[in-house]
Amino acid sequence: MSSLLRSLARPATAPIRRWVLGAFPRGQSGIDYDHPLGDPGWFGPDSITWRVHAEFPGMLAGGLCALMLQTLHPLALAGVYDHSNFRDDLVGRLRRTTAFVAGTTYAPTAEVEALIDKVTRIHAQVRGHTADGRAYSADDPALLTWVHVTEAYGFLQGCRRYCRDVPTAVADQYYREYKRVAEALGATDVPASEAEVDAYFARQQSELVFDARSQEVLAVLSGIRLPVPMAGLSRELFLGGGAALLPEWATTMLARTPMQRAQSRASAVMLRGMAPLFRRALQDGLATRACTRMGLPASVLADWP
């Protein structure tokens, strides 16, 4: 971008930058993204994953879409409901999830492996029984697959809807790449293409329910207050953008009203228009640092490989 264009964009990008860094402060993970030089991590600059995950609006809206989908699986939801402080610290939970996704995407190899080991140990401690007596555990391969697929779906659709066009072949490559994280955590039979993800969701629908626990978690999510200016407006924008990414069957199952659907469509239009501003405001993010570690300019991520 020329210096003139940067000057013209600054009044819009500066508040966005403050908003993002207020909601998701940098430097708290303890991960060294800058060394060792030349270490591509698990994906590297030729990957689709580096490109999809570099788009902040798509990632945040996609992550919220994934949370909405996850409330529909009783066993997956039980682990969060029984073992998480989501009611009191949902912001902290979102930040930890964001840090894990960012770390496994852009960190060098040793840091990624340490993250995987840490989360695997945490999962081993999360187990129990639902109200109807069914056992669950966070390291259940099937549940790990469900959580991964909802997240990968949300991130991909967020990128596609708000940030850049994603051809089917590129989407398929993303699913093939990103399943590496899920499989490292213990997931099995992970879908590896858009068609496989669609078929997976179709098979899962008989296991899904929208119950009182789902409603409670969604109520907490709808009231989240990020520590940023205009928190309510920001929340509605990204929650609406996340809901706009839901498959139609999930929108129906979640009993979203015509008004809610209309609000989601409006949020989607706004996010699509704002995506270039987010990109300009966050040019020094983790994707840029990972490219620098590889001796490359961040501009290599502008096009699909």
Q: pTM of the predicted model, to two decimals?
A: 0.93
Six token digits for residue 80: 């969060």
Residue 304 lies in a domain: no
Residue 294 lies in a domain: no
Residue with tokens 């399943």: 179
DSSP code at position 136: E
Residue 4 lies in a domain: no
From the list 111, 98, 104, 114, the residue with the least C-alpha distance to 154 is 98
Residue 100 lies in a domain: yes
For residue 129, the cross-strand partners are 135
Residue 5 pLDDT: 37
Residue 242 lies in a domain: yes
Query: CB under 8 Å to 229, separation ≥6 — which residues?
Result: 15, 18, 19, 22
Domain housing 150? 15-26+33-289
DSSP code at position 127: E
To the nearest 10 degrees (0 to 180), the angle between helices 56-70 and 212-222 is 150
Residue with tokens 């858009």: 194
Tens place of pLDDT for every residue, the chain, 305 residues?
A: 444 334 434 567 888 888 788 778 888 889 999 999 999 999 999 999 999 999 999 999 999 999 999 999 999 999 888 887 777 777 788 889 999 999 999 999 999 999 999 999 999 999 999 888 899 999 999 999 999 999 999 999 999 999 999 999 999 999 999 999 999 999 999 999 999 999 999 999 999 999 999 999 999 988 877 665 555 667 889 999 999 999 999 999 999 999 999 999 999 999 999 999 999 999 999 999 999 999 999 999 999 99
CA dihedral for 76, 236, 205, 132, sign (positive or negative)? positive
Six token digits for residue 173: 């490559």
Residue 135 lies in a domain: yes
Six token digits for residue 251: 């929108």
Residue 255 lies in a domain: yes
Which uninterrupted H or E stretch holds 39? none
Domain count, the chain: 1
Residue 231 pLDDT: 58
Residue 8 lies in a domain: no
From the list 29, 42, 35, 60, the residue with the least C-alpha distance to 244 is 60
